Amino acid sequence: MAAESGHGDHQIDGRFNRRAVLVEEAQRRVLAAAGTVASEHVPLAECGGRRLSRELRATCDWPPFARAGLDGYAVRAADTALASPSNPATLRVVDTVAAGGLALAAVEAGTAARVMTGAAVPEGADAVVMLEQTAEAVAGGEKAALIKAAARPGQNVAPRGEEFRLGSPVAAPGELLTPGHAALLGTFGYAAVPVYKRPRVAVFATGSELLPVEAPLAPGQIRDSNSAMVAALIRECGAEPVLCGTLPDELAALREALARVSAAVDMIITTGGVSVGDYDAMAELLRGLASYSSSSPAPAPSMLLFNRVSMRPGSPTSAALLDGKLVLALSGNPGACFVGFELLAAPALRAMQGDPSPAAQAIIARLSSDIGKGSPHVRYVRAKLRFGGDGIVYADPLAFGKSSMMASLAEADGLAVIPSGSQGSKEGDVVQVLLLKRTC
């Protein structure tokens, strides 16, 4: 294969006229085609794990009033300036204020009000002394408090608007909503929350050799394990899989099946049939499409985005627009299918839900063992991460890492990125590792 220049082009396979694009260019084209899904409102208690579709702002100052931070006495700090355990300040108690209540009397010179945590601080008071630094007393026949420590202005008082001012942003479009967001939005009265819909993704497995998972094995056939794996990956991205079963290696059946589901879903993912064999129907379908052009002012409703990516495993991974619908054609080999999904489908699904940073999260780690010979393509090697005694993160390459192998899929924490070149990577080399489980 000879190197070929061009926007994002890397190598070209002359026999099959399949031009490989760099992973970054493949991601760019897929994200540009993905767009975003529509918005909907969900009940506040169900918003966790969804992405906000528009900015939400504070509907009032928060706190909406000066609020006591603990149980104690609301005082004027100046009245306690000389207070100590041996010489407490004696203040007449004019009121008791519970959380949710309002004081009936202002705190004036020489007075105090008993307050509970979260209660509104009475007018005139500028500090709260914790209960443990006080004692009850009677002065002049009236209830009083002995203040045993000097207070400073603002002590144990959350001023009005300390956290939010009316109209200030609370959550931005595309934010992944957490339980903390639910608390904030509830505070500001958002009983229904605008979020992006969960993208619906049709999943097809192609191959006449495939059997249903529950079927007994037969000579020359295997069970369709890719569909369940892809469905689980789709759910991890916050989307909804629509399992459409298996398809034979027949062009007409494939074309009809994709057209049948297109209107009901936001994306289509197929596995298998993208290589260069005599029966690879998906590759044949894509060959009939007009190719992507960087000079085109707008994408055509049906066009090939790419049909080869400079990566291992999964170089036959392809993508297209069919009647305006994004189609990702992943390898039938489980390991390559897994990598293709993480690099292309996962970012696209996150972007469709408004994620402003949809790419996989990455860290830097040291390889704990050698990675074989060199490769003309960037390699994505399944690895398990661990902290060494030296505080360094190590990436342990896993066995059974070939594209057709799945034994190490369940163990992998990340994909170690091994650059292309005439040599592999050595033990101790620093590499980038794409994390398989996002923390946000």
Whether residue 19 is contained in a domain is answered as no
Whether residue 188 is contained in a domain is answered as yes
Same domain for 153 and 175, yes or no, is no
Same domain for 331 and 377, yes or no, is no
pLDDT at 56 (0 to 100): 98
Lowest mean pLDDT among 6-20, 101-115, 143-157: 6-20
Same domain for 74 and 172, yes or no, is no
Whether residue 12 is contained in a domain is answered as no
pTM over 0.75: yes
Single out the residue in 334, 352, 370 at which a domain terminates: 352
CATH number at residue 337: 3.40.980.10
Same domain for 182 and 46, yes or no, is yes
Cα end-to-end distance, the chain, whole Å? 40
Same domain for 212 and 259, yes or no, is yes
Whether residue 13 is contained in a domain is answered as no
Task: Indicate the pLDDT class of residue 6, thresholds 50, 70 and 90.
Answer: very low
Q: Which residues contact 102 (CB under 8 A, 6 or more apart)?
A: 120
CATH number at residue 370: 2.40.340.10
Same domain for 347 and 269, yes or no, is yes
Single out the residue in 327, 352, 377 at which a domain terminates: 352
Same domain for 254 and 135, yes or no, is no
Whether residue 3 is contained in a domain is answered as no
- The proportion of the chain whose per-residue pLDDT surpasses 70, expressed as a percent, equals 92
Single out the residue in 307, 324, 352 at which a domain terminates: 352
Q: What is the domain range of residue 28?
A: 24-36+199-352
Whether residue 323 is contained in a domain is answered as yes
Same domain for 208 and 191, yes or no, is no
pLDDT at 218 (0 to 100): 85
Same domain for 205 and 303, yes or no, is yes
- Total number of domains in the chain: 4
Same domain for 335 and 324, yes or no, is yes
Pair 371, 401: CB distance under 8 Å = no
Whether residue 268 is contained in a domain is answered as yes
Q: Would you mind telling me the total number of residues written for the chain in this entry?
A: 440
pLDDT at 388 (0 to 100): 85
Same domain for 309 and 185, yes or no, is no
Write out pLDDT tens, residues 98-140: 999 999 999 999 999 999 999 999 999 999 999 999 999 998 8
Same domain for 186 and 246, yes or no, is no
If one compares 273 and 240, the residue with the highest pLDDT of the two is 240
Whether residue 103 is contained in a domain is answered as yes
CATH number at residue 86: 2.170.190.11
CATH number at residue 188: 3.90.105.10
Write out pLDDT tens, residues 326-364: 999 999 999 999 999 999 999 999 999 999 999 999 999
